[in-house]
Structure formats: C-alpha cells, structure tokens
Amino acid sequence: MNNPITERRPLPKAQDSTVLRSTIIKLTATQKILSASVIVVVALIWWDLLNRLIAFGRGIDYSGLSALGLDTIALIQQYNPFFWWTLVVICTFIIAYFLYRFTLYTHVLWQRRSVDETVFAELIKNLSASACEVINWAWHDRRHPITVGDLQRAANELRSGRFSKISLAEQHAALVDAGRKRTETDENNLQSVEFHV
C-alpha cells in the first residue's frame, strides 16, 4: 500500500508547457494583433506629423523680429532646430506612454476573458495530470469560469516548478496530520492509563 507521505507523483512533461503556451498564444492572438496594428498606425501617423513639424520649424522666418536685434535673431535661428526636436521628443514620449497604457489595458482586458469550454476541454485532454494540478492551483475563484489570465499564471508557475512545491506542501500537510493523529492517540492512551490507575 502506498504511503501518502512518501508517494511521489510524476513531474509535468516538457510538452505540457508547449501545449499550454500554444493555447495561450491562440487565445491572445487577437489582442496582440490589435495592439500591434494600433501601434503601427499611430507610429506611421506620428512619423508623418513629426516630419511636417520639423519642416514647419525650418521654414519659420524670424526677420519680422528685427526689433530684437540681429544678435538675438541669429541666436533664435541657431537654436531653432533644437526647440523643434525637443518638442518632437516630448510628444513622442507622450504618445509612447499612451500606447503603452493602451497595450496594457487590452492585455488586462484579455486576461479577464473566459476560456471557451471546447478550447479548455481540448487543452486538458493534452496535458498530464501534474500540469492539470498546476492549473487547478492557478484557478483561484471557482465561482467564475477559468480565464486566460488563469492559464497564463499556470504557464508561468509550470515553468517555475510549482508542481514540486504543491507536492512538497501535500507531504508537509500529511506529516502534520500524521503528527496530530499520533498526538491524539498518545493523549488517549495517557488518559486511559490514568483512568485505570
């Protein structure tokens, strides 16, 4: 008979990570394509606008500021490109920040999406029992269907050796339970000895 304390279950297979990763890629492909498309379109529009902005800055005629003096006009013309390039860099950072926030928002939105029953059934069919145990661990709220985020968490945990930690925790729990039962038995034996005496 197998002792639950010493029983070792097989570790997840290498193909489990591959199967889980490919399922996640299929489930998140639309989000990645959408984010990449928005980034490319915004980058192309910004490239056109920044070229126009730089051309506009080069074409400014400061001769109307002759009241400021020739030295001041020469200084303004000398530093004119730096001003427009600084404006371009600042705007680029602002646009990059909003694109980053958009990508992060779509990523979080996709993580909350429920996994279709047929997709999940196909995934589970191709995973080992050990990998299913890691998915079980990653699925925190059983009142809600499993989400893409749960699968992503399971994939990360599978790579970082979560199954070994689950097994070790079960062994620790079994040892604690065995110790508690032994303590209860010892206390019962001690009480019965005291009763007979």
Instruction: Give the pair of three-digit tokens for residue 121.
Output: 């059934």
DSSP code, position 147: B
Nearest partner of 111 among 33, 31, 20, 16, judged by Cα? 31
CA distance 35 to 107: 9
Q: What is the pLDDT of residues 169-192, one digit of tens each?
A: 888 888 888 887 776 665 555 555
As a whole number of Å, the CA-based R_g of the chain is 32
Can you tell me whether residue 10 is helix, strand or coil? coil
Q: What is the pLDDT of residues 23-52, one digit of tens each?
A: 999 999 999 999 999 999 999 999 999 999
pTM of the model: 0.69
